[in-house]
Amino acid sequence: MTIAHPAPIMLVTGGSRGIGAATARLAAARGYDVAISYVERDAAARAVIADVEACGRRGIAVQADNADAADVTRLFATLDRELGAIDVLVNNASILGLQSRFEDLAPDRIRDIFAVNAIGSMLCAQEAVKRMSFRHGGKGGAIVNVSSAAARLGSPFEYVDYAASKGALETFTTGLAKEVAKEGIRVNAVRPGHIYTEMHASGGEPDRVDRVKATIPMGRGGQPEEVARAILWLAGDEASFITGTFLDATGGK
């Protein structure tokens, strides 16, 4: 008699579009039950979950803002109740401001970007560790933080604040990976480069990837699905001895 094992459970923050949506869909295709969080795009979030369910997997979409600690607590409580114990957290939710020189950035913008991209990811990781860690009776798990090539390149004249928030996320990745390595949790990060997503419109230049693609050694921008494959690899058993690592998905830049 074959014993059915429960599907692993993945939470993708910011899962209604771009890299997050591609990750949720690929995870379902590979056998995960999937939860996503989103802030405003209700119809898009429902469409992602419909695709998850079309793969025969369970899926839920929870409206929750990474920058709101109460929302993060509620997000994980909903996940516990509706799907079960989390196996993989993908910290994907991010925001971007209009392209600008650093000296012209308003303090509120800088705070908001760090609140979502860095602090929000840290809050989500706290909740995940409390559930995954052997210290808390968990079964282990994986956290994949979605950083950016901007953390290495700095994004001068465009998004220095965004780049700095991703740099903070990378330092956090290194520290947390070492802290929980013996507790069954692996923590890694993916660095997407110039990827065709709607996020560039938030920066005021929807066609930014086409403008800069000549500077990419592979001569093209990337697709969200290409980053999703890197995320799923880091999340899975093939990366079982890998933690505290950064995987560039940048076309060589």
- Grouping H, G, I as helix, E, B as strand and the rest as coil, residue 17 is coil
Complete DSSP assignment for 135-165 = GGT---EEEEEE--THHHH--TTT-HHHHHH
Active site residue 32: no
Alpha-carbon dihedral sign for residues 182, 27, 222, 169: negative
- Grouping H, G, I as helix, E, B as strand and the rest as coil, residue 61 is strand
Among 32, 159, 162, 196, the active-site one is 162
Tell me the residue type at 131: R
The vertex-172 CA angle with 164 and 20, nearest 5°, equals 75
Show the tokens assigned to 137: 């009776």
Sheet strands side by side (includes 88-91): 59-63, 33-38, 9-12, 88-91, 141-146, 185-192, 246-249
Catalytically annotated residues? 162
